[in-house]
C-alpha cells in the first residue's frame, strides 16, 4: 500500500503543475494584450513582434515546466525513484526561489516554502527511500 506522504507529495506536484499552467496561460494572454497595445501606440511593429514572441516563449516554457511537474507527480504515484529524487531537487529550487519573497512575509510564499520543505524532508526519510527503492511488490504472488 502506498504511504499517505507519497500520495500527498504527488498531489502537491499536481497542484504546482496546475498553478504553473495558469501562470503560463496568463503570461501568454498578457503578452498578446501588450503586443496589441504596442501596435496601437506606435507605427513600428518591432515592439509588437517582440512582446508577442516573448509572451509566447515564456508561456510555452512555463507550460513545459508544468507538464514536467505532472510527470513527476505521476512518477511518485507509480513508485519511481527518479521522480522522488527530482521532486526533492525541484522542491529545493522552489525554496530558493521563494526566499526573497519570505523577507516581506508573504503568507502564500511562506505556505509554499513550508510545503516544499515538508516534501523534501518526507522523501528523504529512510522509510520513503525504502518504499521507492523496492523493486518487487510485497504482495504475494499467485501460484
- Is residue 83 within 8 A of residue 48, CB to CB? The reply is no
Q: Which residue segment(s) compose the domain that 10 sits in?
A: 4-132
Q: Examine residue 139 and state whether it is found in any structural domain, yes or no.
A: no
Evaluate if residue 84 carries a pLDDT over 90. yes
- Of 2-16, 41-55, 84-98, 110-124, where does mean pLDDT reach its minimum? 41-55
pLDDT band at 66 (very low <50, low <70, confident <90, very high): very high
Whether pTM exceeds 0.75: yes
> CA separation (Å) from 32 to 36, 52, 54?
6, 5, 10
Q: Examine residue 138 and state whether it is found in any structural domain, yes or no.
A: no
Instruction: Encode pLDDT of 102-120 as tens digits.
Output: 888 888 889 999 999 999 9
What's the structural domain count of the chain?
1
Q: Examine residue 52 and state whether it is found in any structural domain, yes or no.
A: yes
Q: Examine residue 141 and state whether it is found in any structural domain, yes or no.
A: no
Q: Examine residue 80 and state whether it is found in any structural domain, yes or no.
A: yes
Cα 47 from chain centre: 31
Amino acid at each position: 500500500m502506498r504511504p499517505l506522504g507519497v500520495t500527498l507529495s504527488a498531489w502537491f506536484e499536481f497542484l504546482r503543475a496546475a498553478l504553473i499552467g495558469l501562470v503560463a496561460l496568463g503570461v501568454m494572454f498578457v503578452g498578446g494584450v501588450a503586443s496589441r497595445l504596442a501596435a496601437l501606440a506606435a507605427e513600428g511593429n518591432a515592439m509588437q513582434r517582440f512582446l508577442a514572441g516573448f509572451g509566447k516563449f515564456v508561456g510555452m516554457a512555463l507550460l513545459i515546466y508544468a507538464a514536467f511537474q505532472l510527470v513527476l507527480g505521476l512518477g511518485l504515484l507509480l513508485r519511481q525513484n527518479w521522480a522522488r529524487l527530482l521532486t526533492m531537487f525541484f522542491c529545493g529550487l522552489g525554496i530558493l526561489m521563494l526566499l526573497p519573497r519570505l523577507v516581506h512575509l508573504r503568507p502564500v510564499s511562506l505556505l509554499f516554502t513550508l510545503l516544499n520543505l515538508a516534501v523534501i524532508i518526507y522523501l528523504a526519510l529512510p522509510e520513503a527511500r525504502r518504499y521507492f527503492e523496492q523493486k518487487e511488490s510485497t504482495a504475494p504472488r499467485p501460484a
